């Protein structure tokens, strides 16, 4: 085995991670009444061995690929969710896990758990693991579920949660706590958190929820409240940056593949058959991309990150014509946010927003199906042609998490608990390059994860499908 000498290369300096902590704004006499040795120390199940506790010097690098070719080595992105900007110093995040010192006395903890936005496989597992983790690891006995998303803080009674109540929730899709869009009212929410006496707030969130959570966190700091706030990223679209991926994403891709398989069977069994599958993905095409790569039956994958067109040279129809001639069938996968600009809509439809302010999309699948049929009957009026449109929308997200995602949910929930108990606040727990890390909420709230059209994964889609690049001459 050849060893590369790193004599001439230097590892770039690491930017010391800074994570918000209650000590940032709570006066130390107040803190002292809460500070204690981690109760895991006396938990008979743990007997913490040497190295069990994570020190605040342990960090996870965001970019882990180094260029060792020169002394001025630089780091580059290794994960699909990392930012592509290169810098001379390496960004790092605190490693997640139990700390020796905690800033909450278990008898005074009052925890609240809330789920907001769309569903994602594994939400119930995260809730379950937060409850069981708080109860079993730290001896917390006051844990509450906030029903119906953000609005539930000020409009519904909290639900007391116990391990007994949640014991089989990981087997259920959706969120037993219920979720909603809209209803974000900053003052009402923070007032309610205060009046209920919650001092730990766990939010299971998507990108919109996170933007709201940042405002709640800032308000908590402004009021100098002894409240730890954290979030667990939940996005079936996988559109949140920095973390490797969201829990539930792999489960959704697996389900999406079932739809593609069915579309393939239908297309193969018809004369000039086209199987068309629409998948979730509001502004990112990760589900479509991953399902395409894992299925290998897809002829063309259309995602929001790429504009496509139907007619003329290099367009979708020309490509399909060729594919149908060669293979007798074709499978198209389209993410829900793709091609939205091409679908005719009324002024009212242009303005339409959901309760959270997200634009409401028209059904790209139905539109495409009708465009395909019109095209074929125009060009080949005497030839058979079939389009089978499958829209598995909610079926891919309203299911329980698979084994891998369930494990992820457990680890991420426990990471969140350890971080909050250690006095951290305004942070997100998630895997970064395979290790669980604490990332400042402020940073995650602005980090978007789009499909990178210049990276290997998208090139591989192009090579598997041989689809056009939709660049007009």
Ligand X SMILES: Nc1ncnc2c1ncn2[C@@H]1O[C@H](COP(=O)(O)OP(=O)(O)OP(=O)(O)O)[C@@H](O)[C@H]1O
Q: What is the C-alpha separation between 181 and 357, in angstroms, rounded?
A: 9
Annotated binding residue at 181?
A: yes
Nearest CA among 317, 332, 334 for reference residue 275? 332
In terms of CB distance, is 237 or 254 closer to ligand X? 237
**Residue 396 near ligand F6P by CB under 6 A:** no
- Beta-strand ranges (E) seen in 162-223 are 200-205
CB of 3 to ligand F6P, least distance (A): 47
The binder of ligand X chosen from 60, 96, 111, 116 (CB under 6 A): 116
Q: In the numeric block, which tokens belong to residue 54?
A: 């994570």
**Residue 220 near ligand F6P by CB under 6 A:** no
Distances (CA, A) of 424 to 34, 35, 406, 453: 13, 13, 25, 36
336 binds, among Mg ion, ligand X, ligand F6P, none (CB under 5 to 8 A by kind): ligand F6P
Distances (CA, A) of 340 to 213, 361, 394, 458, 471: 29, 7, 20, 21, 18
C-beta separation of 189 from 218 below 8 A = no
Q: What is the largest CA-CA distance in the chain?
A: 85
Is residue 391 annotated as part of the catalytic site, yes or no? no
In terms of CB distance, is 38 or 81 closer to ligand X? 81
**Residue 208 near Mg ion by CB under 5 A:** yes
- List b or e across 347-380, with b for residues whose CB sees 16 or more CB atoms inside 10 angstroms: eeeeeeeeebebeebbebbebbbebbeebbeeee
Question: Which of 67, 237, 347, 405 is the catalytic position?
Answer: 237
Q: What is the C-alpha separation between 448 and 356, in angstroms, rounded?
A: 18
Binders in 203-242 for ligand X, by CB under 6 A: 205-209, 211-212, 215, 234-235
The binder of Mg ion chosen from 207, 297, 299, 371 (CB under 5 A): 207
Q: What is the C-alpha separation between 152 and 144, in angstroms, rounded?
A: 12
Residue 241 main-chain phi, psi, to 5 deg: -85, 175
397 binds, among Mg ion, ligand X, ligand F6P, none (CB under 5 to 8 A by kind): ligand F6P
The binder of ligand F6P chosen from 127, 166, 217, 237 (CB under 6 A): 237
Distances (CA, A) of 32 to 28, 79, 102, 423: 6, 40, 11, 12
458 binds, among Mg ion, ligand X, ligand F6P, none (CB under 5 to 8 A by kind): none
In terms of CB distance, is 96 or 114 closer to ligand X? 114
**Residue 373 near ligand X by CB under 6 A:** no
CB of 185 to ligand F6P, least distance (A): 20
Q: What is the C-alpha separation between 153 and 228, in angstroms, rounded?
A: 16
Binding residue count for ligand F6P, defined by CB under 6 A? 10
C-beta separation of 127 from 97 below 8 A = no
**Residue 156 near ligand X by CB under 6 A:** no
CB of 237 to Mg ion, least distance (A): 7
- Note the residues at the interface with ligand X (CB under 6 A): 116-118, 149-150, 181-184, 205-209, 211-212, 215, 234-235, 356, 358
- Note the residues at the interface with Mg ion (CB under 5 A): 206-208
Mark the binding-site residues for Mg(2+), compressed into ranges. Answer: 207
Q: Which residues are catalytic?
A: 237
- Note the residues at the interface with ligand F6P (CB under 6 A): 118, 206, 236-237, 280-282, 336, 354, 397
């Amino acid at each position: 085995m050849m060893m590369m000498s790193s004599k001439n290369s230097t590892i770039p300096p690491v930017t010391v991670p800074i994570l918000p902590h209650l000590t940032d704004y709570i006066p130390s006499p107040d803190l002292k009444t809460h500070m204690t040795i981690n109760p895991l120390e006396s938990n008979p199940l743990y007997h913490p061995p040497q190295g069990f506790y994570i020190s605040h010097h342990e960090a996870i690098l965001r970019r882990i690929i180094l260029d060792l070719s020169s002394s001025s080595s630089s780091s580059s992105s290794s994960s699909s969710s990392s930012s592509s900007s290169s810098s001379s110093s390496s960004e790092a995040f605190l490693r997640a896990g139990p700390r020796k010192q905690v800033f909450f006395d278990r008898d005074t903890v009052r925890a609240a758990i809330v789920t907001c936005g769309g569903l994602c496989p594994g939400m119930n597992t995260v809730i379950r693991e937060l409850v069981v983790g708080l109860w079993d690891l730290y001896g917390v006995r006051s844990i509450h579920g906030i029903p119906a998303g953000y609005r539930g803080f000020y409009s519904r009674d909290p639900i007391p949660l116990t391990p007994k109540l949640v014991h089989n929730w990981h087997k259920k899709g959706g969120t037993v706590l219920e979720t909603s869009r809209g209803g974000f009212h900053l003052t009402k929410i923070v007032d309610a958190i205060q009046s209920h006496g919650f001092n730990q707030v766990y939010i299971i969130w998507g990108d919109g929820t996170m933007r709201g959570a940042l405002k709640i966190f800032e308000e908590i700091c402004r009021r100098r409240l002894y409240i730890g706030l954290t979030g667990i990223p939940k996005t079936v679209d996988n559109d949140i940056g920095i973390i490797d991926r969201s829990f539930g994403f792999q489960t959704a891709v697996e389900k999406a593949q079932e739809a593609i398989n069915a579309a393939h069977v239908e297309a193969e069994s018809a004369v000039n058959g086209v199987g068309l599958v629409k998948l979730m993905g509001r502004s990112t095409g990760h589900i479509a991309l991953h399902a395409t790569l894992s299925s290998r039956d897809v002829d063309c994958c259309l995602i929001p990150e790429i504009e496509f067109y139907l007619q003329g040279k290099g367009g979708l129809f020309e490509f399909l014509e060729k594919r149908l001639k060669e293979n007798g069938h074709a499978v198209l996968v389209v993410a829900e946010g793709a091609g939205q600009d091409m679908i005719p809509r009324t002024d009212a439809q242009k303005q339409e927003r959901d309760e959270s302010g997200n634009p409401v999309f028209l059904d790209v699948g139905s539109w495409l199906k009708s465009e395909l049929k019109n095209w074929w009957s125009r060009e080949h009026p005497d030839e058979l042609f079939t389009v089978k449109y499958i829209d598995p929308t909610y079926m891919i997200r309203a299911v329980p998490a698979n084994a891998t995602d369930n494990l992820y949910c457990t680890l991420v929930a426990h990471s969140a608990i350890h971080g909050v108990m250690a006095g951290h606040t305004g942070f997100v727990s998630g895997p970064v390059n395979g290790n669980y890390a604490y990332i400042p909420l402020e940073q995650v709230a602005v980090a978007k994860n789009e499909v990178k059209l210049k990276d290997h994964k998208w090139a591989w889609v192009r090579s598997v499908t041989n689809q056009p690049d939709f660049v007009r001459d």
